[in-house]
Structure 1
Amino acid sequence: MSDDRQHEFFATCPRGLEGVLATELTGLGAQEVAPLAGGVKFAGTWMTCAKANRQSRVASRILWRLRQAPYQSEHDVYRTALALPWAQWFTEQETIKVSVSATKCPLNSLDFVTLRIKDAICDHFRERTGVRPSVDTANPDHRIYAFLDARTVTLYLDTSGEALFKRGLRQVQGEAPLRENLAAGILMLTGWQADDGQGSCQPLLDPMCGSGTFLMEAAQMALGIDAGRGREFGFERIKNFPHAAWQAWRDERDAMPVNIRALPIFGSDKFGDALKLAHYNLENAGLRDVVALKQCDVLEVNAPAENGIWVTNPPYGVRIGEQAALQAMYPQLGDVMKQRFAGWRCYFFTADPALAKGVRLSASKRTVLFNGALECRLFEYKVIAGSNRKPETPVKED
């Protein structure tokens, strides 16, 4: 397994961010980049894989494609897995976990498919060493993924280990935390400029910042801090991975100075407890001096610059009383944008379909995104000095 050999990979991501991830991976040197449902297929060397794991802000995992083969039964899947040279990649002393997903799969039980793949890996080692690897579903050394469509099974070896959105920086979080890679992808969709070419960035405000996920991602992007700096990856446990080349590149990246400085990144929240979480997370990440925080009701917030990006994930009321309070607040949010944020682009990420009607402003763009299984929208409002206020009559959703 030489360093310059091309391999096939699949990077998973939150649904709706496939195009953003494809652009990001292309910028990291990936070849044959192709967005697919739920992720991006690409080709590259092992170092391409390593750099994608460390530097991608949008990917959830980087999976190495091992084999794709037709199947008609569980035994066909077993034989495909048994034929792979597992002992070249890890030892029988290490633990494994097998995960299976499918679409239009004709087989009766994915649990049984999972068991047969596990059996194939264990049988491969038993035939060669007399010892089978153990299963660890909580913290395995190696994760094996299988995807079945109506006719083919594709087997992958995970190169990430812990999911890539687990940066290791956010120590505390609110009730409904936004995953870091989803927040980063949203920032990219807004077109926010992390580097203005003069040592700063475009002004950014999250007026309902909660534990500060948007703020932390923005600060790292503006300072050029790799998303995976300081954490470990699954590929470091693969036997034939070019570890020396990776370690030399990683050490060079780690040695690059980071100029911690105040940037026009602003966060506020009505609730002091939420703001304490943001303070703590930024402090833990060494970013406290980068971001300006303030306790403030969103309806009282003022624009911190003449223009910039407003991006926020407003609360979503589950109980009837909460929903009523939010729907009463939405027109006031529209007033705040019109009266104080002319020249700004405002983005709301929400699962609440009432928001678009409630603010009574014309959304210039609506992007469908998924927060896990929850379908959401990213609404864009380009606020101008004139009036783009909608009438109060009901407006149909797209």
Structure 2
Amino acid sequence: MPPFRLLRRPRLVPVVAAVLLGGLAVVEAWTDPSFRQSFGSLVWVALWIACGLAAQLRWPAAGAVAVAASYPLGELLGAPGPGGAGLIAALVAVAYAGYAGRPRASRVATAACVAVFVLTDIVRAGVSWDSIFFPAIFVPAWWVGSLVRREQDRTREIASLAAQLDAQREATAHAAVVEERARIAREVHDSVAHSLSVMTLQLGGLRRQLGPLLDERPAERDVWLGLERLGRESVEELRATVGILRTPRDGEADLASPVSLARAEHLAADVRAAGLDLALETQGDLTTVPRAVDVAAYRVAQEALSNVLRHAPGARALLRVCHENDAVEVVVRDDGTRSGQADESVRDGATHGAMRAANGGHGLVGMRERTGMFGGTLSAGPVTGGGFEVRARFPIGRGWQ
């Protein structure tokens, strides 16, 4: 995975902060003339800061207090402080605690950090401006972390609600179809089939009454018998039609079930039936994908395949669905060719992809909205060697714990 993607993973923030700020504290101790004479002691303080930040992976609130304790530790070791690196580390730790820790624990940790800094400063230099300055910077840092957490929780709730609405809309549409078919079946059974059945019975009764007369006219009798037979056959056909309308056909029960990556084979079969040479590759357990991500990823795959059908009919395409521990990835790639055409501008995959990208996206906006809702990424464009590729990645379990 590229480094820039790793940096966006929340659990790496304490690790990155521990390395950067611990190193920055050492550099500050070496380059600042007022700190250099206590370089050895400040190295231990820098190591303490790095360990406190790393501890926030498991204990966000306790780790923040540990980082704040670097100030009194430096005083005990006879080192001046707090340095700029130490103060920045404490602010980052408090903000992380506000984001990743339980609300009550993070508030207690923030109050403890403020108390540690203020009391240490009072013991060191007496009451001063810093007694107000430290609360003025620590509390906003905690508030920013809490705000980011609330916004991400709200984003996940909106995504979940959108998935539920999508599933409800499909279920409502299917229920409407079933109800309409049932209504048609009732109409056919109660009106047409009933009338045709009565007419056939009347023909049979009239034939028996006219028996001697029809025996003398065999041609007319055969026509009459044919009409009766046709009436009975029509009644049976209507009854069979009513049964079909009231009983779902093969595969129709799937319409009531919500869309899911676990049904990727059904999606691939539908696309192949439409004339696309499609290969399907799946990896991981697709039945355990969180519901909201499951629906969004399925819709992206559906839209991307629809684009291939519209813009590259006859092309060979690939649908790859991969479920990893921390992400779901959907890839749709086509070779850009169209069977039976010799237009080089179409056969050239790069030109084909540029034409599709220049035409306003053809659903790319909607796909980007779906991936962006979950903090994911979407890339779409020509690929080396010809063709066009859409790659969507949905992160899973983005909450900091």
Range into which the TM-score falls when normalised by the shorter chain: under 0.3
Q: TM-score, normalised by structure 2?
A: 0.21
Could you say which structure has the greater relative contact order, defined with CA pairs below 8 angstroms and 6 or more residues apart?
1
Q: TM-score, normalised by structure 1?
A: 0.21
